[in-house]
Amino acid sequence: MAEPNELPLVTPPGQNGASAHPRESVTPRESERRYAQIIGWGYAIPEKVITNHDLEQIVDTTDEWIRSRTGIEERRVAADPKETTATLAIDAARRALEVADVHPSKLDLIICSSSSPEYIFPSTASVVQDAIGAENAGAFDLSAACSGFVYALSMARGHILAGDAEYVLVLGAETLSRIVDWTDRNTCVLFGDGAGAVLIAASPVPGGILACELGSDGSGAELLMVPAGGSAMPASLETVSSGNHFIKMDGKAVFRFAVRVMADATRAVLDKAGLDIDSLDLVIPHQANIRIVQNSVLKQLRIPEEKVFINLQKYGNTSTASIPIALCEAIEAGKVKPGNNLVFVGFGGGLTWAACAVHWSVPTDRPTTDWWKSTRRQAGYQAAAARSMWRRAVRWVYQVWPDDPEGKPIPDGEPVKEPVKEPEIQQNGVLRRDE
């Protein structure tokens, strides 16, 4: 089977008179390849900081234990009830679009990875779609726990290489503080809240997301899970009183698994991308525990410390948001430059693991804030909010309206006519409509 990037390709946006948006026109051309480039990035974190010393007041722990066993010093928590997974994701999404200077109407797809989504359904991605006014975008959530962001990058790349999308917004967003048991010292010291976003675009420039490696082992499902609230254990007074809506984890088992798969997945993705460890410029691992990174990426792969980006001391484990937040901070710190080879590698509940290799191809200096553009962007978001309210109002009117809003009013007592069904006949074993 042909490698994805050997597939017949489509004229890249803006070339040969073709439109940058697929709904207008894109001309297939065999000679040009498509690449999935990261062109925008942004993150959002709650203001409230909870330090290890604060946790000493809540559970039987010490700053020394948390630092030495995990590397974490503090984490952010969405203390304001109005701050949710979606609001963090929306902020991160807006920043990513701003960096890329892409209008939300250009988005074809929004993928949001989360283990603490806004609702079981609808998807957090749909909430983001509405808030940013991405009127042409499909939207869905992806569940792969802490590996989710890398899974979502893989989905985005697939859509772009297949020619199904020109712009895909990928989000990793969590408010784990809402599903953490604040009386369980085994878990509450580890997790934090935050969101990160990247905008992936189809491009003729070689590079971008080169390869992805995804894996799972469902036999380890119960090692890291939220047991209640799904179909296996629906919400009830009992599930709430027994604390089954909180994260449960066998830390030691997850630790052992993580050390193994982080190294294996990194090797596998480098192999797929045709890169070797020496050609790597930066590894951005899932920010769960500094000891996991030391035992896998540093010791097993012998990647030097300066090539591994760590910010878990500030945010704790933000699950699927940890890699995109770390990417944004690595960019801010000047550690990502055009021409660099990066690997993102994560692991988590499922059990799952995922890695992706990226050849960074776009400048990383943020555009200077342009007053006019920023005002226009804000106006666009106000318009999106107004449009959403208008649609809700129209739906409300249809709900309270006494007549069928789609057709003619049905007078009381008149029987509703069923539409006449065309008969279907079988011919040569195939059902078809009789025309």
188 is catalytic: no
Closest residue by beta carbon to ligand UT7: 251
DSSP 187-206: HHTTB-EEEEEEEEEEESSS
- Percentages helix, strand, coil for the chain (3-state, rounded to 5) are 40, 20, 40
Closest contact distance (angstroms) between CB of 118 and ligand UT7 is 20
Taking CB under 6 A as the rule, does residue 111 contact ligand UT7?
no
- CA dihedral for 114, 141, 92, 196, sign (positive or negative): positive
Task: Return left, alpha or beta for 9; rule: phi > 0 is left, psi -120 to 50 is alpha, else beta.
Answer: beta
Task: Return left, alpha or beta for 149; rule: phi > 0 is left, psi -120 to 50 is alpha, else beta.
Answer: alpha
Candidates 45, 146, 259, 303; binder of ligand UT7 (CB under 6 A) is: 146
Between 32 and 54, CB nearer to ligand UT7: 54
Site string for ligand UT7, 147-186 (x = CB under 6 A): --------------------------------------xx
The neighbour count for residue 134, using CB atoms within 10 Å, is 26
Closest contact distance (angstroms) between CB of 254 and ligand UT7 is 4
Catalytic entry in 146, 212, 328, 356: 146
Taking CB under 6 A as the rule, does residue 395 contact ligand UT7?
no
The neighbour count for residue 335, using CB atoms within 10 Å, is 18
Task: Report the distance separating Cα 410 and Cα 389, nearest Å.
Answer: 29
The neighbour count for residue 376, using CB atoms within 10 Å, is 11
Site string for ligand UT7, 179-218 (x = CB under 6 A): ------xx--x-----------------------------
Taking CB under 6 A as the rule, does residue 61 contact ligand UT7?
yes
Taking CB under 6 A as the rule, does residue 136 contact ligand UT7?
no
317 is catalytic: yes
Candidates 254, 270, 345, 384; binder of ligand UT7 (CB under 6 A) is: 254
Closest contact distance (angstroms) between CB of 42 and ligand UT7 is 22
Task: Report the distance separating Cα 111 and Cα 422, nearest Å.
Answer: 40
Task: Report the distance separating Cα 272 and Cα 283, nearest Å.
Answer: 16
Between 288 and 358, CB nearer to ligand UT7: 288
Taking CB under 6 A as the rule, does residue 255 contact ligand UT7?
yes
286 is catalytic: yes
Identify which of 235, 215, 203 has the alpha carbon closest to the alpha carbon of residue 154.
215
- Catalytic site residues? 146, 286, 317
Binding site for ligand UT7 (CB under 6 A): 61, 65-66, 69-70, 146, 185-186, 189, 224, 249, 251-252, 254-255, 258, 288-289, 317, 319, 348
